[in-house]
Structure 1
Amino acid sequence: MTGRDVAIKMLQDNGIYDVQVTSTQGMLTDHYNPANKTVNLSEGVYASNSVMAAAVAAHECGHAVQHARAYAPLTMRSKLVPVVTFASQWVSWLILGGILLLNYFPQLLLGGIILFAMTTLFSFITLPVEIDASKRALVWLSSAGITNSYNHAQAEDALKSAAYTYVVAALGSLATLIYYIMIYMGRRD
């Protein structure tokens, strides 16, 4: 089965018929879009019949299942998207201006820290969403017979590796937030 086939089967097995599976250009562009209810698989995943492609496709469908079941962390994350989009556009400028004008206008840096804190919160809310989607994918891959005792560990490894990137991103964001707070706290009055 290709990644596309796996995605369609997982959606159908979960009673989801209003989500479309599409192919997107690029690598690592796989995602679920709750706004237009599409599972978007990169070209390599969409057309591949590898265990990794099956795991990625099932993971993205895990998000569609979360959406259909109103999974609370996904709902919270979705509500934060407009705030994080705004924060991401302005945070760099506020932080830079705040550091340059620290002794004259420290409120600028404080505003940047608040916006950066929103993006950090978003990255931590993303963790349970991603971990749950992977758990749903692995359970389904096994129960649907897509993976077996020989290749299930490969699917687990692929999804664990992907999850670690989210953990590292969240911890990196937290460390950067603490760094900015320390700059703000250490300013000269």
Structure 2
Amino acid sequence: MGLYYFDYTYFVFIVPALIVTMIAQFQVKSTFEKYSRISTAKNMTGAQAASSVAQFGGALGVQVQRISGSLTDHFDPRDNTISLSDQVYASTSIAALGVAAHEAGHAIQHAQGYFPNKIRAILVPVTNFGSRLAIPLVIIGLILPVQYNFVVNLGIALYSFAVLFQLATLPVEFNASFRAIRALDEAGILYPDELEGAKKVLRAAAMTYLAASFTAIMSLLRLLVLAGNRRGRD
């Protein structure tokens, strides 16, 4: 059996996933940079937009704070807080308002008890646990004699939760963007031409989630092939 990172399955499953991921990352970076240079007519900041969108959607009591980093924006349901990065918090650009509104969309989901969001939350602890153990267990299982195949199977089972988490993330992220665009439009925060730019920013961001799901699926398929090849040789 070849070493885990030096067999044909790496090129069949992992390399395509890496290419898709790099394309998605390039797309989101270039799109964000393009629309971060275009200010909105109403000069509303990302922080103001996040608060306005959250209130428009019925998410009351949401706090908006500034955090360091690049595109580190997120919503934390534990303390009902939207954290916006330096590029978004005080910026009046189309890109900033799109990102800020997206995070406010998550706050609205939380306030309304959006069901897919609950499913993802349930998967978080088991995914965090499984993701740390899955690959080491598979590697150890592939090294051990065939009677320890259950170790490989356990690792694959744990990794499958990471795949489920990525798939469960997709509707949550898409819905947050849908809520964001609708609020930006109906609340009159962006004009129609600005709204088109915000849509492009959020579509580019959505590609990163699709790429993450594709990578997780391809990695799972690789593990299944490695396990199957091992059984075929024994």
Confirm or deny a common fold (TM above 0.5): yes
Give 1:9-158 correspondences, 5 Å limit.
9-101=52-144, 103-158=146-201
Unaligned 5+ segments in structure 1 are: none
Report the AA paired with residue 166 of structure 1. Answer: Y
Report the secondary structure of 1:105's partner residue: helix
- Alignment partners' CA distance in 2, 1:152 and 1:123: 28
- TM-score with structure 1 setting the length: 0.95
Question: 1:54 Cα deviation (Å)?
Answer: 0.3
- Alignment partners' CA distance in 2, 1:53 and 1:181: 41
Structure 2 counterpart of 1:169: 212
Q: Deviating runs (4+, > 4 A) in structure 1?
A: none
- Alignment partners' CA distance in 1, 2:218 and 2:66: 36
**1:182 aligns with one of 225, 231, 234:** 225
Structure 1 counterpart of 2:13: none
Question: 1:92 Cα deviation (Å)?
Answer: 2.5
Number of corresponding residues: 189
| Identical pairs, percent | 40
Answer with 1 or 2: which has the greater Rg: 2
- TM-score with structure 2 setting the length: 0.77
- Alignment partners' CA distance in 2, 1:28 and 1:103: 46
- Alignment partners' CA distance in 2, 1:79 and 1:115: 15
Over the aligned positions, Cα root-mean-square deviation in angstroms equals: 1.3
Unaligned 5+ segments in structure 2 are: 1-43
Question: 1:104 Cα deviation (Å)?
Answer: 5.0
Residues 58 and 108 in structure 2, CA contact (< 8 A), matched pair in contact too: no
